Amino acid sequence: MCSLVLALVFAASAAKAPPVLVSIKADPAVFSPYDPVIATIVIENRQSVPLSLDGEGELHLNDASGADYFAPFSLSSQEAVGPNVELPRLSIKPFGRLLIQADLFRLRWNKAIYSVWPNEPLDIVPTGAYTLSLVLSTGPRKKPVRLEAPSVPVTLKGGRAADPPAVR
């Protein structure tokens, strides 16, 4: 099981405790695209005011060559979301904590460079070593602040064959 914690620091002073702490882990860290793979996300609000989050998050699988596969999902239902769906914002109480468990197998995936909204099962991702990361947004809708959790290493076994190298 892999686990990595990142403190997202918004305070100007390094001496202050970070107001938001985000962690992500994958269980198991080595998996097949046909088995349940749970991404456990913990968001801790360490400030005395509520933290407002967009209702949508994105999980990303990146490999060493730069390929980026992503899956947008609802933070409240942990299910895949379609394009142009506005989800209700979530609020984390002062000094509160939000636990999210999303099954990577149940989400819809695609390469981030495509203009097509992710609509493929996890097996679109080729077999290989990846980093799993999380992207969230907070702040006002018109000027959101992007929060990125750290990446954790994962390995996908039994996915489709890797893409052939690009011809130059």
Which CATH number does the domain housing residue 21 bear? 2.60.40.10
Least confident of 24-33, 54-63, 159-168: 159-168
Residue 19's domain comprises 2-156
- pLDDT digits 0-9 by tens, 78-115: 999 988 888 888 999 999 999 999 999 999 999 988 77
Domain assignment of residue 168, yes or no: no
Question: Token pair of 30, please?
Answer: 């080595």
159 pLDDT tier (thresholds 50, 70, 90)? low
Domain assignment of residue 15, yes or no: yes
Q: What is the tally of structural domains in the chain? A: 1
Residue 25 CB contacts under 8 Å (≥ 6 apart), including other chains: 1, 2, 3, 4, 39, 40, 152
CA distance 154 to 134: 13
Domain assignment of residue 145, yes or no: yes
Domain assignment of residue 164, yes or no: no
Q: Model's pTM, two decimal places?
A: 0.81
71 pLDDT tier (thresholds 50, 70, 90)? very high
Which DSSP string do the residues of 148-159 spell out, in sequence order?
A: EPPPEEEEE-S-
Domain assignment of residue 163, yes or no: no
46 pLDDT tier (thresholds 50, 70, 90)? very high
Domain assignment of residue 161, yes or no: no
